[in-house]
Amino acid sequence: MNELGLTMGQAAYEHALRSNDAQEFELLDRKWIQLSGVLGGEYNYATGLFASALPYDGVRSMLEMGCGCGVASVIGALEGVPRVTALDINPAAVRTTQLNAERHGVADRVTARVSDLFAAVDDDAYDLIFWNSPFIQVPPDQLLDSDLAYHFFDPGYAMHERFFRGARRRLSPSGRLFLGFSFAMGSSDRLREVVTAAGFGVRVHVQESFGVSPEELGTSPVYADHAGDDARVHIDFTLLELTR
């Protein structure tokens, strides 16, 4: 497990539990609805980066796993993808995605459904499958005790493991698979294990990194322990392509 990721994830989760009112937020020059019980707003830097970097050209069908507020699904539809399936285990996320698809005029192309991974879809093939995943690995026996916990955490990376196996069966012959990840916060060794077990390779499609002072991150000594020679903690958001 990743000590920095666990510390950051736990702090962000506790903050989200305390302040999660409905709100409107701006991202990619558009205004988005966020219902209570789903995250977007202040966690949207990676959301915007990944949604704008996915290759939508020529894609006829897209599946967004864990759609949250539905940003990538809506952007995909606006970029011309005619059939977008948006799935989330959190009902508030699915409702938020439906509202955002209506707001941006693509409700006829985006179908949002409550689903534990691929449970609510059959074996249709998709040209593009994407998950901005809950990449903070926690112990295999840790319970996810609220809908918001699913935004951050994956016990033992068991959901990642199931996701890659399910995605493999549902990619069209030329279909492409992407994962929103962070090497600074996620568990890269465990990721490589589950990716390899599902028969994929990995390449970086897009990556952005920045340095933050430990004090900006919080009071935990873990932040200072992870600072580099420049006294800053280096955080990345990385869009990985899983290759066949």
Ligand X SMILES: C[S@@+](CC[C@H](N)C(=O)[O-])C[C@H]1O[C@@H](n2cnc3c(N)ncnc32)[C@H](O)[C@@H]1O
Q: Give residues in contact with ligand X (CB under 6 A).
A: 40, 47, 65-68, 71, 87-90, 93, 115-117, 132, 134, 150-151, 159
Q: Nearest-5° angle of CA 121, CA 32, CA 59?
A: 45
Residue 76 CB, nearest approach to ligand X (Å):
12
Q: Which residues contact 41 (CB under 8 A, 6 or more apart)?
A: 23, 25, 34
Residue 7 CB, nearest approach to ligand X (Å):
17
User: Which residue has its beta carbon closest to ligand X?
Assistant: 66
Residue 132 CB, nearest approach to ligand X (Å):
4
Nearer to ligand X, 113 or 232 (CB): 113
Report d(CA 220, CA 206) in Å as an integer: 30
Nearer to ligand X, 7 or 214 (CB): 7
Residue 108 CB, nearest approach to ligand X (Å):
21
Nearer to ligand X, 38 or 171 (CB): 38
Residue 60 CB, nearest approach to ligand X (Å):
21
Nearer to ligand X, 120 or 204 (CB): 120
Nearer to ligand X, 117 or 194 (CB): 117
Q: Which residues contact 235 (CB under 8 A, 6 or more apart)?
A: 182, 184, 185, 209, 210, 211, 212
The answer to whether 136 touches 154, Cβ cutoff 8 Å, is yes
Residue 243 CB, nearest approach to ligand X (Å):
22
Nearer to ligand X, 7 or 132 (CB): 132
